[in-house]
Amino acid sequence: MIDLTVIWACIIGFAIIAYVVMDGFDLGIGILFPFFKVGQERDTAMNSIAPVWDGNETWLVMGVGGLFAAFPLAYAIILPALYAPMIAMLLGLVLRGVAFEFRWRDPAHRAFWDGAFTAGSVIATFAQGIALGALLQGITVEGRSYAGGWWEWLSPFSLLTGVGLLVGYALLGACWLNWKTAGGLQRQAVTYAGRLGIGLLIMIGVISLATLRLETQYYHRWLSFPGVLATAQVPLATLIVTFLFYRSLRQKRDAQPFLWALALFGLCLTGLGVSIWPDVVPARVTIWEAAAPVRSQVFMLVGAAIMVPVILAYTAWSYWVFRGKVGTEGYH
């Protein structure tokens, strides 16, 4: 049944997908940054994301803000459980943003700021992956409150999802550079994309198998008959998309590898939805149990109906204005 609560779950899900699509590749470039030569290669990589990187993070704000407003009970449970990785993520994003600006204005210490850019990107990405893993593995809830400890988020599984996201974002970064650059840097990006694609496929397989052992709900959702006839299409589609991804790399396409890599992320998010829907705190709290009052949802929906198209419009315009290949000349 589609109601206001489902609509708000879809809006927040859309914001999360938009964030992964738009901020994943520029975090990935930060992760790959030490592998580029000092000078033209690093400047070109930075220029490829300079016009859009800060706007990409708008969707993170909308996703977290929407969760707070539309599902206050979930926000009250999830945030205390994930304080440490969330604080680490925010500090990483701040460090990365400061380094981004200062490396252009402070050339005498550019090596330091390049290191800070990479450190901030790695910390932010790893923290996001850990938060996702901690959410999937289960949060201790008693009544309507978080009842776990300060370190409950830390486990081999959450570290594994952190590494998986590092590999995934690095793949998006390599594919983005293949699209936006030319010459030696583009060839280097193609090489990295080929290796990272294999790495991501391995991480998807390992994390998927480990997830089945976390909750009985996950196991039955994926493997019980006849549901398995539908869920089996997700890994099958993953193999098909992987084939198309590598074929586009061999054909030396510019944009297609990036789009196929995004499709792999889309399938991962689809698998996440299969595992947890309709829960907002997996296996603990459903979206209806955590939802805000109907009048609040209606009030916020009016704002979302105005702001989401505005954000989409200026985002599309910025990508259109800065389309095409980039060089070493900066936007700063």
CB of 36 within 8 A of CB of 45?
Answer: yes
Chain centre distance of CA 125: 8
Among 38-42, 201-205, 258-262, the minimum mean pLDDT is found in 38-42
Task: Return the amino acid letter for 300.
Answer: M
Distance CA 52, CA 62 (A): 17
Assign residue 329 a region (left: φ > 0; alpha: ψ between -120 and 50; beta: otherwise): beta
Residue 1 has pLDDT above 70, yes or no: no
Distance CA 81, CA 87 (A): 12
Residue with tokens 């997908």: 17
Check residue 131 and give its pLDDT.
94
Task: Find residue 285's DSSP bridge partners.
Answer: 281
Output the pTM of the full model. Answer: 0.93
Q: 34 Cβ partners below 8 Å, 6+ apart?
A: 114, 118
What is the DSSP secondary structure assignment for residue 143, as one 8-state letter? Answer: T
Instruction: Assign 226 a pLDDT band (cuts: 50, 70, 90).
Output: confident
* Region 116-120 average pLDDT: 96
Find the helix packing angle between 83-105 and 110-137, rounded to 10°.
160
147 backbone dihedrals φ, ψ, rounded to 5°: -125, 15
Check residue 215 and give its pLDDT.
86
174 or 39: which leads in pLDDT: 174
Instruction: Assign 325 a pLDDT band (cuts: 50, 70, 90).
Output: confident
Residue 240 has pLDDT above 60, yes or no: yes
Distance CA 134, CA 127 (A): 10
Mean pLDDT of the chain: 90
* Region 13-31 average pLDDT: 90
What is the DSSP secondary structure assignment for residue 322, as one 8-state letter? Answer: T
CB of 251 within 8 A of CB of 257?
Answer: no
282 or 92: which leads in pLDDT: 92
Among 44-58, 121-135, 181-195, 307-321, the minimum mean pLDDT is found in 44-58
Q: 46 Cβ partners below 8 Å, 6+ apart?
A: 29, 100, 103, 330
* Region 40-51 average pLDDT: 89
Distance CA 245, CA 7 (A): 32
Instruction: Assign 331 a pLDDT band (cuts: 50, 70, 90).
Output: low
Residue 332 has pLDDT above 60, yes or no: no
Residue with tokens 């196929």: 260
